[in-house]
Amino acid sequence: MKKETPISLRHLRRITAILFLCPISLSSIQASAASDQSDVSSASVHQEQTSGILRAEKINPTTVDVLFTNQQRMTIDFYGENIFRVFQDNSGGIIRDPEAKPEAQILVDQPRRKVSGLSVDEKEGYITLTTAQVRIELNKQTGLMKVFNPLTGKCVIEEVAPVIFGPKEVTVTLKENPEEYFYGGGVQNGRFSHKGKVIAIENQNSWTDGGVASPAPFYWSTNGYGMMWYTFRKGEYDFGATEKNIVKLSHNSSYLDIFYMVNDGAVSLLNDFYQLTGNPVLLPKFGFYEGHLNAYNRDYWKEDEKGILFEDGKRYKESQKDNGGIKESLNGEKNNYQFSARAVIDRYHDLLNLADMGVHLRIHLREELRAPVAYDLGGLLRGGYAGIRPGVEHGWHKKPRQHADYRHDYNKLNKGEPLF
């Protein structure tokens, strides 16, 4: 009889990430954090914020120069009828590309599309910038911006506080609507919709729940807009977590440089994003599969009483550095089968076999749901949860239709602890 395979749902967190939401990977964000052209350390030691507007002037067919009452300037530059860039450097710097070391490029060589009929009007305390697909209203008294989709008449972006230029970061504050949801940010492991959450735009090189592996300073909203902060620096996006109905976007920079896209739906907004950054790589047909985000050629596993329980009855902790432990492999060719990709696949098939025998998994979520939730094991696994590793003392009951009941504290999910 084949040995029963213990598992832990802790390792379901290391499953497939949805990369298509943000196809570019700005993994150099962390590496280039100290290389932006405007060094944060040179910023003023006090916070500054946008004031009222003195005037706005169209300086070329795609660009408007905005002069504030405190003599600061903001540039609004259209890259198409529905895509515009907002740039403001209070130290006097001109519009430019962000620096990165080693050298890197975010925009494609030709990111612009034709802009026809950009108009600038002033009426009743507002300055209005209009194209066929965007209307921007600037409040002259407060300097705050509202963005409308003229095709639907809907306000899609609304600033609720002036942009803050702090000594170490710039912060933009937007309104969040009750039925608005946010997606993107790169590979945000264990995250899909970001409503009510805070996400980090930095390469944490972490593939577990809550970690960030390949960040992208881009997100799109169901309200009808997308945002890309044009930077390689670290950032943080707060989608109503700290303050309800408020979105706070910040990056460790001394100047503001943001692209906004106005469109209806995910496909259209992602295509706008691709206009700026290029189309995602088209994989061959066989490359589209439910995968496990691990190369099995780098990590080491060392015995640790607080680690994960494996088939040999010992607990191990994973390290991305050589800590004297056992290195992973693809097929266990280094006498390390239980730390191999082959072992993960075998565990997956073992569980499918159990599912075919009628075994179900029931998890009791005591803290949050206060009621048991039953999962069909076959459906759970065939739905793509293939990244399974061991980590539970209990074996699976192999009697048809019998349940394996496990009880745990739901809070362990967020602490990275084994569930069982």
Encode 33-44 in three state secondary structure: CCCCCCCHHHCC
| Predicted pLDDT at 396 | 33
Mean pLDDT, to the nearest integer, of 214-227?
97
**Cβ neighbours for 340, distance < 8 A, ≥ 6 positions apart:** 296, 328, 329, 330, 331, 332, 333
User: Using CA atoms, how far apart are residues 260 and 72, in angstroms rounded to an integer?
Assistant: 21
Encode 185-220 in three state secondary structure: EEEECCCCCCCCCEEEECCCCCCCCCCEEEEEEEEE
Average pLDDT, the chain: 78
Point out the least confidently predicted range of 20-29, 189-198, 236-245: 20-29
Mean pLDDT, to the nearest integer, of 373-402?
39
Is pLDDT above 60 for 176? yes
User: Using CA atoms, how far apart are residues 309 and 250, in angstroms rounded to an integer?
Assistant: 40
Nearest CA-CA partner of 274 in 218, 202, 224, 192: 218
Number of Cβ atoms within 10 Å of the Cβ of 378: 18
pLDDT digits (tens, 9 = 90+) for 27-44: 445 444 444 444 443 333
Nearest CA-CA partner of 113 in 150, 82, 86, 134: 82
Q: What is the pTM of this model?
A: 0.68
Residue 378: in which H helix or E strand, if any? Answer: helix 377-382
* Burial of 243 (C-beta count, 10 Å sphere; 0-12/13-18/19+): exposed
Is pLDDT above 90 for 345? no
Point out the least confidently predicted range of 130-144, 186-200, 315-329, 375-389: 375-389
Q: Residue 417: how many CA atoms within 13 Å on its side-chain side?
A: 10
User: Using CA atoms, how far apart are residues 40 and 44, in angstroms rounded to an integer?
Assistant: 9
| Predicted pLDDT at 289 | 61
Q: Residue 269: how many CA atoms within 13 Å on its side-chain side?
A: 27
pLDDT digits (tens, 9 = 90+) for 66-91: 999 999 999 999 999 999 999 999 99
pLDDT digits (tens, 9 = 90+) for 225-261: 999 999 999 999 999 999 999 999 999 999 999 999 9
Domain ranges of the chain: 9-15+291-415, 19-277
Tell me the backbone φ, ψ of residue 273, rounded to 5 degrees.
Answer: -60, -40
Is pLDDT above 70 for 15? no
| Predicted pLDDT at 206 | 79
Higher pLDDT, 92 or 41: 92
Higher pLDDT, 15 or 148: 148
User: Using CA atoms, how far apart are residues 51 and 36, in angstroms rounded to an integer?
Assistant: 26
Q: Which amino acid is located at 68 in the chain?
A: F
User: Using CA atoms, how far apart are residues 393 and 375, in angstroms rounded to an integer?
Assistant: 20
Chain-centroid distance of CA 135 in Å reads: 28
| Predicted pLDDT at 30 | 47
Higher pLDDT, 224 or 384: 224
| Predicted pLDDT at 33 | 46
Higher pLDDT, 95 or 383: 95
| Predicted pLDDT at 109 | 96
| Predicted pLDDT at 379 | 47
Which residues in 128-165 are b (16+ Cβ under 10 Å) and which e? Answer: bbbbebbbbbbebeebbbbbbbeeeeebbbbbebbbbb
Q: Residue 75: how many CA atoms within 13 Å on its side-chain side?
A: 21
Is pLDDT above 60 for 386? no
Determine contact, residues 347/389, Cβ cutoff 8 Å.
yes
| Predicted pLDDT at 31 | 45
Higher pLDDT, 342 or 408: 342
| Predicted pLDDT at 294 | 64
Q: Which CATH superfamily is domain 19-277 in?
A: glycosyl hydrolase (family 31) (2.60.40.1760)
